[in-house]
Amino acid sequence: MATTERRTHHQVTFAVLAAAVAAYALLQSLVTPVLGVIAVDLHTSQNTVTWVLTAYLLSASIFTPIMGRIGDMVGKERVFVATLVALSVGSLLAALATNVTVMIIARVIQGIGGGVLPLAFGIIRDEFPKEKLNGAVGAIASLSAVGAGLGIVLAGPIVNALDYHWLFWLPMILTVAAAVAAHFFVPESPVRTEGRISWLPGILLSAWLVALLVALSEAPDWGWGSAKVIGLIVAAAVLAVAWVMVEQRSASPLIDMGMMRRTAVWTNNLVALLIGVGMYAVFAFLPEFVQTPSSAGYGFGASITASGLMLLPSTVTMFFVGMWSGRLARLIGGKAVVVIGCLVGVASMAILAFAHQDRWEIFVATGVMGIGFGLAFAAMSSLIVNAVPPEQTGVASGMNANIRTIGGSIGAALMASIVTADTGAGGLPKEAGYTHGFAMLAGALVIATLAATLIPSARRRAGANDEPEHGELAMVAGGTVVGDKSE
């Protein structure tokens, strides 16, 4: 069988997948610290330039599950290459943009690249030896989070040495190289899902995500009690219910609601939502906190580069912990790893909330955060991949990544409302705003810890209760894959 020959080259496949995921993850956050620079260069307002982030977030939220579904149907490798091409085209357009409208369109195109993550998980599941599966999934999951943090770290040095256009040129070079390598070195998967794309569920999914994320992103400016925000949230709820109903009745659903109801899936998705609340809010607001002049009674007056470096410990610890989480999961179980990761995350937020007077405390807090989130992300991704049939890997992992992004939007919006609720001299937020905000994030991770205890034990065998009897990987303690009933 050709599968054996392909799997002998899984290291090469992993290198290509890692490069692609790294480029996508970098583009999530590279522009965050330099939005002010972009606003000045493109002659636009600070409020308008935030759509450079919002447009990318909306597009990625919509296309992540859709591209995962298409990949499951027509072939993961060819769709993976297509997402990298979209990332490259979007990066090229963004690098050449001379006005904010073109920049926003470019970011929408880049959002199509959100499909790289579920497609990468699907390729790993189809092509890797079973004993390497969990480690590879964990490493890619950690790399996606590491890249998001590393983008904030690298933005300052790149802009100082070159200019902000290189925040798009450099990822474009990487994605073009990854697309070429994927075409030649990543084998096409034989695993396919029968059916076709149902466009009505796709439209409804897009509609409720757009309504929800616009409401969350604009709530700090419009006000949480404003008619526009309330109207959008109500519209999102109605459209989400309609989407679920249409999916349940569809002969070829975009996302299988039965799959989403599995205990192993919905519990991991809930944890992903809450962890997203914490991680992305820190990425967005910790740089602002440390850049605040010390004359405000807090902060360090740090530069863009220096503030990014304070997040560097999180990227380092997240990467190395993610690489080793598979081994830890085999020892104590994937569920236990997620619980531990969430608890460590609580500790990091508590440090940020109550011990932020010295720089070393910030470095310790971000390093601890990386350990916690690295453990949780890697283990969650493996649990999701192991919980669904091979033909649903792309959709399931895509929705998990998508829900994490939505959690980030919620966290950033809540944090913005709390931090800016009370301002002091010069219009700067008071220290109490950040203290309350980070404490709120700690609370979200406490809830994530409780949710993680609901994840089914890895000792459960396929066939129990809500788990299907066919096409699902059977697992032993620690989440190690020991057999696929479909084989």
CB neighbour class for 331 (10 Å; exposed up to 12, middle 13-18, buried from 19): exposed
Q: What is the pLDDT of residues 150-163, one digit of tens each?
A: 888 888 888 888 88
* Banded model confidence at residue 299, pLDDT cuts 50, 70, 90: confident
Bridge partners of 474, per DSSP, are 483
Average of pLDDT values for 300-311? Answer: 85
| pLDDT tens-digit readout, 35-59 | 778 888 888 876 677 778 778 877 8
Structure tokens at 76: 């993961």
Q: Measured at the alpha carbon of residue 178, what is the angle toward residues 87 and 84, in degrees to the nearest 5? A: 25
Helix (H) or strand (E) holding 483: strand 481-484
CB atoms under 10 Å from CB of 402, counted, come to 28
What pLDDT was estimated at residue 192?
66
Angle between helix 359-387 and helix 312-332 axes, rounded to 10 deg: 40
Asked if the model's pLDDT at residue 473 lies above 50, the reply is no
Q: What share of residues in the chain are helix, strand, coil (percent, to 5)?
A: 80, 0, 20
Taking only the tens place, the pLDDT of each residue in 408-426 is 878 887 888 888 777 766 6
C-alpha–C-alpha distance, residues 421 and 443, integer Å = 19
pLDDT at res. 454: 92
State percent of the chain over pLDDT 70.
89
| Residues 99-103, mean pLDDT to the nearest whole number | 91
Q: Residue range 157-180: average pLDDT?
A: 89
pLDDT cut 90: percent of the chain above it? 24
Whether residue 458 is predicted with pLDDT greater than 80 in this model: the reply is no
Residue 36 confidence (pLDDT): 74
Which of 264, 284, 198 has its CA nearest to residue 400? 264
* pLDDT band at 75; cut points 50, 70, 90: confident
Compute how many other C-beta atoms are within 10 angstroms of the C-beta atom of residue 260: 17
pLDDT over 70 (residue 269): yes
Radius of gyration for the alpha carbons in the chain, expressed in angstroms and rounded: 21
Q: For strand 481-484 and strand 473-475, is the pairing parallel, antiparallel, or unpaired?
A: antiparallel
CA distances from 420 to 251, 286, 374, 397, 428 (A): 48, 14, 30, 35, 8
- Is the confidence at residue 401, as pLDDT, over 80? no
87-96, 302-311, 460-469, range with greatest mean pLDDT: 87-96
Residue 451 or residue 191, greater confidence? 451
**Is residue 477 scored above 60 in pLDDT?**
no
pLDDT of residue 347: 96
Q: What is the pLDDT of residue 321?
A: 84
Reported as a pLDDT band with limits 50, 70 and 90, residue 91 is very high
pLDDT at 160: 84
Note the pLDDT of residue 260. Answer: 83
Average pLDDT over residues 353-381: 90
- Domain 2-188+254-484, what fold? Growth Hormone; Chain: A; (1.20.1250)
Q: How confident is the model at residue 195 (pLDDT cuts 50, 70, 90)?
A: low
DSSP string, 352-380: HHH--SSHHHHHHHHHHHHHHHHHHHHHH
pLDDT of residue 386: 79
Q: Which carries the bigger pLDDT value, residue 148 or residue 38?
A: 38
pLDDT at 487: 31
Predicted TM-score (pTM) of the model is 0.76
Q: What is the pLDDT of residue 394?
A: 67
Reported as a single tens digit per residue, the pLDDT across 6-37 is 443 677 888 888 888 888 888 877 887 787 78
Over the chain, what is the mean pLDDT? 81
Which whole number is the average pLDDT over 220-231?
87
Q: Which residue would you say has higher pLDDT here, 253 or 275?
A: 275
Token pair recorded at residue 26: 């970098």
